[in-house]
Chains A and B, each alone.
Chain A
Amino acid sequence: MDRRESAASFRDPSGSVYYEGDVLYRRINNCYKDDYALFLDSGLYDDLVSAGLLISHIEVKKEAESSYKIIRPELVPFISYPYEWCFSQLKEAALLTLKIQRLALRRGMSLKDCSLYNIQFLGSKPVFIDTLSFEKHIDNRPWIAYGQFCRHFLGPLALMGMVDIRLGQLLKSYIDGLPLDLATSLLPYSGRFNIGLLLHIYMHSKAQKYSPDASFVDNKTKNRKFGIDSFYGLIDNLESTIQGIKWKPLKTSWADYYSKKESYSSQGVEHKKKIVEGMIGEVSPRLVCSLGANTGLFSRIFSSRGIYTISSDFDPVCVEGNYLYVLEYKEKDILPLLLDVVNPSPGIGWEGEERDSFIERGPFDLVTALALIHHLAISNNLPLRKISSFLKNISRTLIIEFVPKDDEMVKAMLILRKDIFEDYTQDNFEREFAKDFFIDQTVKVSDSKRVLYLMRRRG
């Protein structure tokens, strides 16, 4: 079977990741042999897996080449990235990392890196995926990954909570975390009065400006120690600092979209749900992506049936509300993500391949685009041809709602602008989409002018 090396796995010499078909393997190199043995023998692996904090794996075979072992980790249904997470998802990921570090210390180990990309979500739960991130803790040595933790977690969270939630998008530009001097320049002056931020962001940023000079070498400095109490103190302080960062979302026009009843009557919403429920049986999807999902009302039609559903929206307030609901009800099969359909996550990192673009992470068995097309076509001037072509790239089947020009919402959108959308008609919509999809079902939503379609990708 063809082997494909992961483009995201090359920095850590301890091992690397590759795929055979859809199966993921992690190669452990000989240089990691002792740490891997300690990881298992110390009981840390069992601690973490039994608590659901780390992805489990099985050892599968020994390669002919020079690697030490090959393991097959449990697969995550969908890989998401930090710039697609809402505030609370990032916060949960940070707290998970600190919890793991504390457990590791108790077993004589420590995290040697603290990348945001070591975390993935299984519905409500963040889970650590990098089995090779643990090393033997050397007594009196500071945390090697402290700087990375502050850049990856603390800085972005502080900016999102205290300045503007949209600053989380900076993580797209800084793949190795937010530079601390940038964080200090963006944070409000009052941030200095928070002891955690003062230590881990402001002083940390200042300290990073010093660089070693050979003329100051002195053996006395070797006597400085970072004892285990200090280490636990550091973890505790980082944890309480992160717990203390809050974000209170402002109301947006999207967050209470369905409760305002501007677009639908209660009868219309119920009928729309029934139509979607009926269409699921025709498709039997395993992985669904709901675009413009708002707070996930329709995404839950799928997830409540055990179908893993990406519930995406471009509004951080909606995604936060959706995730808080997921957390409250401990939902396993729905993953709220921040995604702007008109500017989906690009490929980033080395050669633009280290982190896959949103489109490369598809296609999905089913994509839903409910009450979305008019925002794409009219608010964003996207031609129907381009919309159809994009959806064909990411979906095997599609449930899409057409919202005609005489719909109240579209009328409101056109009230202050010239109607340049002559091609935006139901006939043209069907004609353009029929080039990429077979149209299997067409159902009109009652008490509304909208129409739902079930389509199957051609080719």
Chain B
Amino acid sequence: MRLKNGLKIVLLLISFSLVFTSNAYAYLDPGTGSYFLQLLIAGLLGALFFIKTFWRGILRAVKDVFLKLFNPVKKD
């Protein structure tokens, strides 16, 4: 319950920072909730993206090693 109230307060605080944010000239109403959610999950999204990119890098490196091992460049 305490956690829920805490979350609610954070959400409402963020909403006000957004209400008074300057330079927001968009004609669409972004929806306060949509804006909140992105700020709340920013870390998670960044981390997931980092892990995915990192994992792809590892896979690519492993693939390169295997390609070199099993398909060595023939020398004349």
Contact = CB atoms under 8 A, between A and B. Distances in A.
A233 B35 CA distance: 15
B32 A214 contact: no
Interface stretch (A118-126, A222-230, A251-259, A428-436): A222-230
A218 B13 contact: yes
Given A218-B13, A234-B45, A236-B52, 10 more contacts: A11-B27, A113-B28, A135-B26, A146-B35, A207-B37, A211-B32, A212-B32, A217-B17, A229-B49, A233-B50
B13 A207 contact: no
18 contacts: A142-B38, A142-B39, A146-B30, A146-B37, A207-B36, A208-B32, A208-B34, A211-B15, A216-B16, A217-B17, A221-B14, A224-B17, A226-B39, A226-B42, A230-B46, A233-B44, A234-B45, A237-B49
A204 interface: yes
A207 B34 contact: yes
A349 B44 CA distance: 37
A417 interface: no
A226 B36 CA distance: 10
Interface of A: 11-14, 112-113, 135, 138, 141-148, 150, 199, 203-204, 206-214, 216-222, 224-227, 229-230, 232-234, 236-237
Contacts of B72: none
A146 B34 contact: yes
B46 A112 contact: no
Contacts of A227: 42, 46
A212 B16 contact: yes
Contacts of A230: 38, 42-43, 45-46, 49
A144 B28 contact: yes
B8 to A, nearest CB: 7
Contacts of A206: 33
B69 interface: no
Given A145-B28, A147-B34, A229-B50, A214 B23 contact: no
A153 to B, nearest CB: 14
Nearest first, the 4 A-B pairs at minimum CB distance are A233-B49, A147-B34, A208-B33, A233-B45
Given A216-B12, A229-B46, A236-B49, A222 B30 contact: no
Contacts of B59: none
* Residue among B15, B34, B40, B49 with most chain A CB within 10 A: B34
B28 A142 contact: no
A232 B27 CA distance: 23
Report the contact-size class of chain B (Cβ under 8 Å from the partner).
Answer: 35 or more
Nearest to A232: B49
Contacts of B28: 112-113, 144-145, 148
Contact of B35 (A14, A142, A213, A217): A142
A212 B12 contact: yes
Contact of B45 (A135, A211, A220, A237): A237
A221 B32 contact: no
Contacts of B61: none
Contacts of A141: 21, 24
A143 B37 CA distance: 11
B42 A220 contact: no
A281 to B, nearest CB: 50
A233 B38 contact: no
Contacts of B49: 229-230, 232-233, 236-237
B8 A217 contact: no
A210 to B, nearest CB: 5
A144 B16 contact: no
B48 interface: yes
A66 B39 CA distance: 39
B23 A138 contact: yes
A12 B27 contact: yes
Contact of A221 (B13, B24, B38): B13
A237 B41 CA distance: 12
Nearest to A176: B28
Nearest to B49: A233
A210 B12 contact: yes
Given A233-B45, A233-B49, A222 B33 contact: no
A135 B25 contact: yes
B73 interface: no
Given A12-B27, A229-B46, A234-B45, A222 B17 contact: yes
A191 B15 CA distance: 28
Contacts of B9: 216
Contacts of A237: 45, 48-49
A233 B50 CA distance: 8
A245 to B, nearest CB: 18
